[in-house]
Amino acid sequence: MSQSTDGDGAKAFAAIDLGASSGRVIRGVVGPGRLDVVEVHRFRNEPRFVREALRWDFAALEAGAREGLRLAGPVDGIGIDSWAVDYGLLDADGHLIDDPVHYRDARTDGVPEQVFKLISAQRLYELTGIQNQPFNTIHQLYATQQNAELKTAARILLIPDLLSWRLTGVAGTEVTNASTTGLFDTDARCWSREIFEALHLDSDLFAPLRGPGEPAGVARDFAAPVFTVGSHDTASAVAAVPADGESFGYISSGTWSLVGVELSAPIRTEASRAANFTNEIGVDGTVRYLRNVMGLWLLQECLREWGREGDLPALLGAAAQVPARRSLVDASDPVFLAPGGMPERIVAACQRSEQPVPRDHAEIVRCILDSLAEAYRTSLIEAAELSGRRIDAVHIVGGGALNELLCQLTADAVGLPVLAGPVEAAAIGNLLIQARAAGAIAGDLADLRALVARTQPVRRFEPSCG
């Protein structure tokens, strides 16, 4: 039964958006010319080191999502997106064997080198187009081949598909997230038999593939249909970039920063592989050609260490007074991947490169933000050169859009206008894909983006002169 709120054809939807540090449920009312969103619930996502591994607390994530759905009230659809690469293992009775292991766990240390002995890095890139990262699903699965958990598993579900299964009892694997695993053939748009055979993995452990906008069952406790969306949160976020035309770069800025351009086909040249760019499937068959940058994780970890999460505005104000580009670090250096001791690691990196050492919190924050802006600049330049795609403006979506200093530093570094917003881009993209599937709106990606541009606040930052 429709839960439309009025007679204009608009319908109500709930977007479950799971991030690496928090989850949220956003309720949206969507119709022709209308996109109203409100956050109804937010909850922390706090991994724990248990049973010899860093693990997500999946029961807490599910409880947070369910509470958000309860607070959202009656809706015409539910969609789920989350971070990529991680997964849960189900036994033959459909029970979760253990909490999913976190991608920052050390179990994949040295594993990529083992995988490359079975299938070369070059061949993997030719098949998948995926940036080599130690935490990619391919490396996680190979690292656990001999574990009892994997040997007894009857099903592998990526995180958003796992929550969808818990709500509906219907198993599937959504393709935008599948494309991040390092196991997916980007040409054939299916699992790569060659890779599974080389690593002696069983592709049948994954549930059938499904694309954004397909029905995914009914949430039994909420009497609402579940739709697949761009279940990799970046796929939904990029779908909500309020761009006009194709000549734009994007930065999906959160715990990670995903920096790139949108294409119609993957680029899997050796130059692209050497530059460590990734090709991930987007909404409506697009390709997200991007580079992963460590992102606001660097700042989040420093704030956690200092116990100053609530004092960020004051720190940013002080950081704005620090001389520009006094010290820079490689924001994608694996040395920053693990939690703990982030301020000390940033100081040590500056010492190793014989740069001025940050002396206080404000100087560390400025070093982080200058380093991110520089990483964005080089990533966008290389994305444009490798793809041939012109970039006239840069869109920052996600939590980083609230960081005015980072937005301005990015505009200055890139030398192009930066348009910041929407902040909840992943949830908005999630809602729009549901709404289109449910018939509340129609159109292609350009139409969805035009609706975002008309209804959501976006702030413009121009490059500073000199």
CA–CA dist 119, 90 (Å, integer): 28
Can you tell me which residue has the tokens 């799971």? 18
Known active-site residue 233: yes
Q: Which residues contact 385 (CB under 8 A, 6 or more apart)?
A: none
With vertex at residue 74, the alpha carbon angle to CA 73 and CA 75, rounded to the nearest 5 degrees, is: 115
| 126: helix, strand or coil | helix
HEC profile of 378-420:
HHHHHHHHHHCCCCCEEEEECHHHHCHHHHHHHHHHHCCCEEE
DSSP label at 236? H
CA–CA dist 424, 408 (Å, integer): 20
Burial 27-48 (b: 16+ CB within 10 A, else e): bbbbbeebbebeebbebebebe
Q: Tokens representing 448?
A: 């969805």
How many Cα atoms within 13 Å fall on the side-chain side of residue 330?
8
What length does the chain have? 466
By the 8 A CB rule, do 138 and 199 touch?
yes
CA 456 to each of CA 41, 200, 425: distance values in angstroms, whole numbers, following the listed order: 20, 48, 10
Catalytic residue selected from 17, 99, 161, 233: 233
Can you tell me which residue has the tokens 């054809």? 9
Helix (H) or strand (E) holding 81: strand 78-82
| 216: helix, strand or coil | strand
- For helices 297-306 and 342-352, angle between their N-to-C axes, nearest 10 degrees: 120
Residue 89's identity, in one-letter code, is L
Residue 5's identity, in one-letter code, is T
CB atoms near residue 283 (< 10 Å): 25
By the 8 A CB rule, do 61 and 69 touch?
no
CA–CA dist 356, 366 (Å, integer): 12
DSSP label at 314? H
| 39: helix, strand or coil | strand
Active site residues: 233
